[in-house]
Amino acid sequence: MIPSSLPRPLRGIIPPMVTPLLDRDTLDAQGLERLIEYILAGGVHGLFILGTTGEAPSLSYRLRRELIERTCRHVAGRVPVLVGITDTAFVESVNPPRRTKDAGAQAVVLSSPYYFPAGQPELLEYLQHLAPELPLPVFLYNMPSLTKVVFEPETVRQAADIAGVVGLKDSSANMIYFHQLQTLLRDRADFSLLIGPEELLAETTLLGGHGGICGGANMLPRLYVDLYNAARGRDLDAVAKLHERVMAVRNAIYSVGRHGSSYLKGLKCVLSCLGICSDFMAEPFHRFRQPERDLILRHMRELGIGG
């Protein structure tokens, strides 16, 4: 069931790719190809599309299908492609993976249903029902700030026994939680524990985590690959320096604008300023206007991004 090409555990930097858009239902197809090339040139170990950073829940199902097909075709097996299939409806979570496998993706990524908050036994049962219907390996996606539900450690431990469940991406930013998972899954060397927030990549990798699904790797893929390699190689001086740069980048780029969407808007704005792809955003968000864009440009100059 699991394609031989997906390493177990999956390790390294797997950027959660932004979705280049020309308008709310039109892909920026050329921008997409440039973005894929830009990211792959950074030496990343995989690509994750249709996650939170990819604005998946804001996109039409048609556009999501188009994105899967174009991405898989363009990546052409150079790295594994992971595809977010999170949905509030069980039935709608099952359909896309079939096409996804045919398109050539290697795995799907699944958070808890995010309208109704499931209890933990319900969440486990949900996974037990859903995983057998999926033709690809499954990564769990812990994102409680948006889904309102945590995959509690004991639930993850049991979910890891479901055939096809191969890893977890943790975007909770709760390092005690991450360490609890590591402890509970110590005997599962094949189960991948990946961190979401790039601010935590250094420490998770130093302490045995398998890598990161870090949004910043859209704009600076090499930085995160270097940090991951330094931490794997236990070069603490390099780790300190690269971690400091990660913090400097996020402090500058994600702090423009007011709402919770500063992170996404900053990321797309940088990619637009770099000439890689459009910064159009699907509702309910919209791209930065000129004053915020000017600030981003200033921060990019100060950080030496794109210059």
* b/e map 134-152, b = 16+ CB within 10 Å: bebbbbbbbbbeebebbbb
Contact 138, 121 (CB under 8 A): no
**Shortest Å, Cβ 147 to a second copy:** 8
Binding of a second copy by 58 (CB under 8 A): yes
CB nearer to a second copy: give 6 or 64: 64
Which of 34, 126, 152, 229 binds a second copy (CB under 8 A)? It is 126
CB nearer to a second copy: give 74 or 182: 182
Binding of a second copy by 163 (CB under 8 A): no
Which of 206, 238, 297, 303 binds a second copy (CB under 8 A)? It is 206
Contact track, a second copy, 263-292, x by CB under 8 A: -------------------xxxxx------
Which of 176, 187, 189, 289 binds a second copy (CB under 8 A)? It is 176
Q: d(Cα 224, Cα 211) in Å, to the nearest integer? A: 10
Which of 207, 275, 294, 302 binds a second copy (CB under 8 A)? It is 207
Burial class (CB in 10 A: 0-12, 13-18, 19+), 85: buried
DSSP state, residue 287: -
**Shortest Å, Cβ 114 to a second copy:** 6
Which of 46, 104, 164, 197 binds a second copy (CB under 8 A)? It is 197
CB nearer to a second copy: give 55 or 226: 55
Binding of a second copy by 1 (CB under 8 A): no
62-81 residues near a second copy, rule: CB under 8 A = 62-63
81-120 residues near a second copy, rule: CB under 8 A = 88-92, 112-119
DSSP state, residue 288: -
Binding of a second copy by 299 (CB under 8 A): no
Q: d(Cα 273, Cα 165) in Å, to the nearest integer? A: 38
CB nearer to a second copy: give 139 or 177: 177
Q: d(Cα 66, Cα 61) in Å, to the nearest integer? A: 9
Q: d(Cα 249, Cα 256) in Å, to the nearest integer? A: 12
Contact 119, 91 (CB under 8 A): no
Which of 5, 25, 132, 190 binds a second copy (CB under 8 A)? It is 25
| Sequence-ordered list of residues with C-beta below 8 angstroms from that of 20, at least 6 positions apart, any chain | 27, 28, 31, 32, 35, 271, 277, 278, 280
Which of 41, 190, 248, 294 binds a second copy (CB under 8 A)? It is 248
Contact 103, 65 (CB under 8 A): no
Binding of a second copy by 303 (CB under 8 A): no
CA distances from 156 to 10, 40, 59, 128, 169 (A): 17, 31, 29, 12, 11
CB nearer to a second copy: give 1 or 62: 62
Look up residue 156 and give its two tokens. Answer: 């993850």
Task: List residues near a second copy by CB under 8 A.
Answer: 24-25, 52, 55, 57-63, 88-92, 112-119, 122-123, 125-126, 129-130, 146, 148, 173-176, 179-180, 182-183, 186, 197, 199-200, 202-203, 206-208, 234, 236, 239-240, 243-244, 247-248, 251, 258-261, 282-286
